[in-house]
Amino acid sequence: MGHRKHSAPRRGSLAYLPRARAKSIESRIRTWPEIDAKEPRLLGFAGFKAANIHLISIDDRERTPNFGKPLMSRATVIVTPPMRVIGIRAYEKSVYGLRSLFDIYADGLPKELARKVKIKPTEQSSLNDIKLDGVHEVRAIVAVTPRAAGLEQKKPFVFEVGVGGGKDVKARFEYLKNLLGKDVRINEVFKTGEYVDVSAITKGKGFEGPVTRWGIKRKQHKSRKSVRAVGTLGPISPATVMYTVPRAGQRGFHQRLEYNKRILMIASVDEQNITPKGGFMHFGILKGDYIVVRGSIAGAIKRLVKLRYAIRPKVKKVVEPKIVEVIA
């Protein structure tokens, strides 16, 4: 028996605590980056995860052994139906952080929004009389309809999207006034080759033990009654189990944010249809606009995925990748 002779790093990261189920199937972006642009623009978009594919592209990373050579990469297809700007929300800065000042909603919105929220449109006369005294930030209230992506869900997703660029808050507010009640497409927000941050809710795995959940080591054969349980719950004093001890519990269905995922393609089904014969497994046939992001992203198929401008981008220069072949 005895204790271990050598020290070892702890198993599993404490940076993701609490490992509990997310409150909603829709992830929440709390921070929007500051961008240097002359004209105001939306800082985010949303879509639905469709499939994982492979594609061959020319490696454009300089100072790498494969520079200029064909490179096969795993990628993820995200269906991005048009995003409708249904309102504007203004914030003021207080000692407790940002506080909502007023909301403005568009007229003539689709009836599906009644399933989500009750909206009273703002009259045009009162819209022109709004003063921006004390307004620190403005954001767009947008709606994404799953039906537009070919999904069965009728209830739309409604959330906020930050606005960046422009001279000041007044320029951003005028930009949102012109977008009020209109649809925005993915190619009006992002460009091919840009890096984005991807936020989503991961796949749920249910109740798991500490070996799977935290990655602890299985104990020696017949050393104790249990093999997949943690070796000790802690010292005799204090007489409590610390939060740092790996325990069994929920695994998956957590909110996760991945930084710097490169957009390899932005296209429409009418321009370039990459749907295989019979449709993608568990999703079906692509409809409308879609993007292809290098690497894998969090979430199950058909789950809502939110995109935003990279808050800590790797490169400043945007280079459009050269796609040789798409293997769906």
In this structure, are 173 and 146 located in the same domain?
A: yes
Amino acid at 323: I
In this structure, are 102 and 156 located in the same domain?
A: yes
**Is residue 325 a part of any domain in this protein?**
yes
In this structure, are 60 and 148 located in the same domain?
A: no
In this structure, are 67 and 118 located in the same domain?
A: no
Work out how many domains the chain is built from and give that number.
Answer: 2
In this structure, are 64 and 123 located in the same domain?
A: no
State both tokens at 214.
């935290």
The confidence score (pLDDT) of residue 265 equals 96
- Contact (CB, 8 A) for 27 and 304: yes
19 has a pLDDT exceeding 70:
yes
**Is residue 283 a part of any domain in this protein?**
yes
Residue 159's CATH number: 3.30.1430.10
In this structure, are 112 and 180 located in the same domain?
A: yes
Helix H or strand E segment including 126: helix 124-128
**Is residue 155 a part of any domain in this protein?**
yes
In this structure, are 154 and 194 located in the same domain?
A: no
**Is residue 42 a part of any domain in this protein?**
no
The confidence score (pLDDT) of residue 3 equals 63
In this structure, are 198 and 314 located in the same domain?
A: yes
- Three-state DSSP class for 239? coil
Over residues 60-76, the mean pLDDT reads: 93
Summarised one tens digit per residue, pLDDT across range 136-178 is 999 999 999 999 999 999 999 999 999 999 999 999 999 999 9
Owning domain of residue 268? 47-80+190-203+253-328
- Contact (CB, 8 A) for 139 and 100: no
In this structure, are 258 and 273 located in the same domain?
A: yes
In this structure, are 171 and 98 located in the same domain?
A: yes
**Is residue 29 a part of any domain in this protein?**
no
**Is residue 305 a part of any domain in this protein?**
yes
- Contact (CB, 8 A) for 173 and 276: no
Over residues 302-318, the mean pLDDT reads: 93
Residue 55's CATH number: 2.40.30.10
**Is residue 13 a part of any domain in this protein?**
no
Over residues 56-72, the mean pLDDT reads: 92
Helix H or strand E segment including 101: strand 97-105
320 has a pLDDT exceeding 80:
yes
In this structure, are 196 and 295 located in the same domain?
A: yes
Summarised one tens digit per residue, pLDDT across range 229-254 is 998 898 899 899 999 999 999 999 99
In this structure, are 258 and 309 located in the same domain?
A: yes
